[in-house]
Structure 1
Amino acid sequence: MATLAALALLLCISMTSMDGCAAAQYKVGGLDAWGVPPSSKPDVYVRWAKSVPVKLGDALFFLYPPSQDSAVQLTAKAFAACDVSDPLLKLEDGNSVFNLTKPGRAYFSSAASGRCRKGQKFKLR
């Protein structure tokens, strides 16, 4: 009987803490759409990436006009050089969702010409 009571208690505890384990979806840039940062906020994506508590299983939502932009996942080396020519993944439908399925750092940029160098990029730790 004690085992049954302990099992019931464990079940109750695990059910109440499930909300803390649920995956979240974060809109990249917060209130701003995915695009070249304005001169008033050149580091908008760097600040955003530092402010969101992303974890494995969460998702990133990129919102942009598909005829004008895209989002790519890059290697660390490509990110540092703003080389978007051979991305790990390219998202280009305008309502792109990237699921964080691997632990470690992740690097993202726009694939549109020159936008990475204008600050339209970020990395997650």
Structure 2
Amino acid sequence: MSEVLVVHDQSRLIPPPPQSQVLSSGKIYKVGDSKGWRVYDSDYYYNWSEEKEFHVGDNLLFKYGQELNDVLEISGDLEFLYCNMTSPVALHKTGYDLVRLTKPGVHYFISSKPGHCEAGLKLQVVLSPMDRSGYAR
């Protein structure tokens, strides 16, 4: 068995990466704030998302009663408008779902429980192509 001795050369310190190259973990937005993800008035989640600025790397936290609700991620305008849940991108149903936003563009979330989406339990998030440091991702 051979042994290897590693000696750290203090004269060759490696500088930290520039701040612009450090990936931020992004913000976590609790969907609906203190109200969580449940049926309210039909414009509640539209107004909630309109007053926020979402970026690549941010996260959405959906909190709800697991037996009462779920979160269906869907892909298009028409599916969102008509609460069409026939071809979802993802289904979240733990009651405490953290969804990382990784691609710029529009992201859609609805409830698949009967009548909930039609009553306004749906969320559209417009995601900026820039991360919080101002660089494209």
TM-score, length-scaled by structure 2? 0.72
Report whether the alignment pairs 1:75 with 2:75.
yes
- In structure 1, stretches of 5+ residues that fail to align are 1-7
Larger Rg over CA atoms: 2
Corresponding letter in the other structure for 1:34: W
Q: Which moved more, 1:59-68 or 1:72-81?
A: 72-81
1:25 aligns with 2:44: no
Q: Equivalent residue for 1:3?
A: none
Q: Secondary structure, in 3 states, of the residue corresponding to 2:34?
A: coil
Paired letter, 2:48: W
Distance 1:31 1:111 in 2: 22
Letter in 2 for 1:70: D
Whose helix fraction is larger, Structure 1's or Structure 2's? 1
1:60 and 2:60 are equivalent in the alignment: yes
* Separation (CA, whole Å) in 2 of partners of 1:84 and 1:30: 25
For the residues of structure 2 that align with 1:22 and 1:51, how far apart are their CA atoms? 21
Residue 42 of structure 1 deviates from its aligned partner by 3.4
State the SS of the aligned residue for 2:46.
helix
In 1, the alpha carbon distance for the partners of 2:84 and 2:123 equals 14
* Structure 2 segments unaligned to the other structure (5+ residues): 1-14, 127-137
| Distance change >3 Å, CA 93–CA 22, structure 1 → 2 | closer
> By how many angstroms is 1:59 displaced?
0.3
Q: Distance between the aligned counterparts of 1:42 and 1:108, measured in 2?
A: 14
**AA in 1 matched with 2:95:** G
| 1:88 and 2:95 matched | no
Aligned to 1:36: 39
Task: Give 1:22 deviation, angstroms.
Answer: 4.3
The 2-side partners of 1:44 and 1:121 are apart by: 9
**What is the total number of aligned residue pairs between the two structures?**
112
Give me the TM-score of the superposition, normalised by structure 1: 0.78
> Structure 1 residue runs of 4+, over 6 Å off?
none
Which amino acid counterpart does residue 121 of structure 1 have in structure 2? K
Percentage identity across paired residues of the two chains: 28
